[in-house]
Amino acid sequence: MDWDNARIFLAIYRASTLRGAAGLLKIDQATVGRRLAALETSLGARLFLRTPSGYVATPAGELALTAAELMEQAADQLQREMQGIDNRLSGVVRVATSDTMALHFVVEAMQRLHVRHPEIRIVLSTSNQIASLTRRETDLAVRTLRPTSPDLISRRLSRRSMGLYASPDYLRERGEPQRDTGMAGHDIVRYQRSEAPRHAEKLCGESIANARVALEVNSGIIMQKATRAGMGVAELPCHMADNDPLLTRIWPDRSEQYDVYLVMHQDLNRSARVRAAADAIAASFPDK
């Protein structure tokens, strides 16, 4: 199995469909199908069962997975090491963060970086899902979870607070929630369980057992917009909501603290362009 075929195999395994694999690899679906057929012919084994729900690995496919992942790790390591000794202040740097971090901190940092080093091109991805630095899905990540992998370097950028907010119109109509009532008689806006499992039970430490869920989102920006529109009470970052004239803070003494980290793979620590991007992002978080 050569690396090109291994990439096709891994994409199908992870996406479960030819179309999904094609999207991951940014090639057409017909090419993925042809390459899979050629790979199975060369190995003399069927790697996937075609089922109504997608492609499922056969025992031979599960065996091939181990070898393909080792090839992927070696290819990624080689690429990181080559990038790590690159002293040029030019080229692509991939940055992953949430939409709210991008809006309030990262885009501004990238603007300053562009003025100083216009040959560095940033590919910015915004999602609450954690991109893999080991598989080179991103070069830098700004996230609220400290990594545990020994291959990753993390730098604490800031400590931030979350508070409870609602629109003035909502509070005039519904009144302020009463503490320790499980938000009885109130609507809430929260993250989907896959994005923030703790929101299934509490907001800022307050039970929501008796609340009515008006909206579940996967975007902090949409959550702020929905709260402004009067859809309910929401937990929002204070740096976003405190200066928003369309929001009022509820129980200012109640908050949740969280840390923000800048994370990179240790192999990229010597890359000039990655370091320049990292320094620009760190400068956008003045308080530690």
Which residues are CB-neighbours of 148 under 8 A, at least 6 positions away? Answer: none
Residue 85, pLDDT score: 59
Residue 284, pLDDT score: 92
Choose between 8 and 232: higher pLDDT: 232
- Global pTM? 0.67
φ and ψ at residue 173, rounded to 5 degrees: -80, -40
Which tens digits make up the pLDDT trace of 200-245? 899 999 999 999 999 999 999 999 999 999 999 999 999 999 999 9
Note the Cα 139 to chain centre separation in Å.
13
φ and ψ at residue 178, rounded to 5 degrees: -90, 135
Which tens digits make up the pLDDT trace of 130-161? 666 666 688 999 998 888 888 888 999 999 99
Q: Please answer whether residues 284 and 108 qualify as being in contact, where contact means their C-beta atoms are separated by less than 8 angstroms.
A: yes
For each of the domains in the chain, give its residue range(s) and CATH number, in order of start: 3-84 (1.10.10.10), 91-157+259-283 (3.40.190.10), 160-257 (3.40.190.10)
Lowest mean pLDDT among 37-41, 72-76, 191-195: 72-76
